[in-house]
Amino acid sequence: MGKVTQDISSGSEYTHAEWTNNSIDNIHNADAARHAAEKLRGEAGLLIEERVVKTILNQQEVTAHLGDRVRDIEELREELRHELQLNQEETDHLVEAKRHLEYALCQTKRPLLVSQECLRARENRVGIDIVKDGVDKNLKTEIEIVRKYQGKMRILNQLIEMQITENKDKQEDIQTDIDLKDEAFGIDQKCHIINVNSNEINKFSGVERVSPEASIPITWQTNSQNKIKKSVTTREVSMQLRNDVDVLINDAAKDMLNHWNITNREFNTRDRRNQEKTKKQCLSC
């Protein structure tokens, strides 16, 4: 920096050389201070430029991540919506199958009443005509068959009712997840388009704190995938129940018709024997 400038206000007299040297020292000191300031400004400029570049790169990286996030949310949201639609359609089919089953159960009441009425009517026979023949046996078998299938239909109907409730529970779980995805999609999509020139940008303190309920991408996706898997499982059970309805109705119709035909043949055989017996009695008269 040079030597310290002497105090020239003390009233002492100085030579011209001393005055010149003092001025030169002041100039050198000023030049040194100016050079130091220029260096500091240069370093500050480089630091600012470096920070600007880094900030731009960070913004570009965050924007790219937000874009990926928006696409991930949209894809998972579409999977949830697709599964929800499939579940709703399957539930509608199951409700329709339930109506068919209830109609079939209602239709079994008439043949049961007919068989019971036939048994009661045959109890009015008297004397030697009270014969425990194949007709009685097959009428009782018919009643047992109808009641057996009625029991199976009632049990299956209860299972279907529980399954419909289960399907709707899974629909609610998926719909709740979809609502959350819709909200997250809107937020991240808005963040994706925000830039330094956007209006109403403010700094909010505390947002950098991580919520204890926060998840990571893997657990976030796994949670939704588990909901989809559970819904798929309920749909498979539901489809099996619908198949059980078709099988049970067909089996009941075939079995009941078969025993009805057997009973009718026994009736015809009994009538023919009665006719032959009456005819013989008439011929002997």
**Helix or strand or coil: residue 283?**
helix
- Over residues 175-197, the mean pLDDT reads 81
Token pair, residue 253, equals: 């119709």
Mean pLDDT rounded to a whole number for the chain: 82
User: Is the distance from CB of 78 to CB of 200 less than 8 angstroms?
Assistant: no
- pLDDT mean over 127-133: 55
In sequence order, which ranges of 108-133 are alpha helices (DSSP H)?
Answer: 109-122
- Residue 207 is given by DSSP the state T
Whole-prediction pTM:
0.69
Residue 218: CB atoms within 10 A of its CB come to 8
What pLDDT is recorded for position 72?
86
Range 58-74 burial, b when 16+ CB lie within 10 A, else e: eeeeeeeebeebbebbe
pLDDT band for position 132 (cuts 50, 70, 90): low
- Give the model's pLDDT for residue 65: 80
Look at 81 and 60; give whichever has higher pLDDT. 81
Please determine, for residue 238, whether its predicted confidence score (pLDDT) is greater than 70.
yes
pLDDT in tens, 196-222: 666 766 666 665 565 666 677 788 888
- Residue 115 reports pLDDT greater than 60: yes
**Residues 93, 76: Cα–Cα separation, whole Å:** 26
DSSP letters of 209-247?
SPPTT---HHHHHHHHHHHHHHHHHHHHHHHHHHHHHHH
In whole angstroms, give the CA distance from residue 186 to residue 69.
11
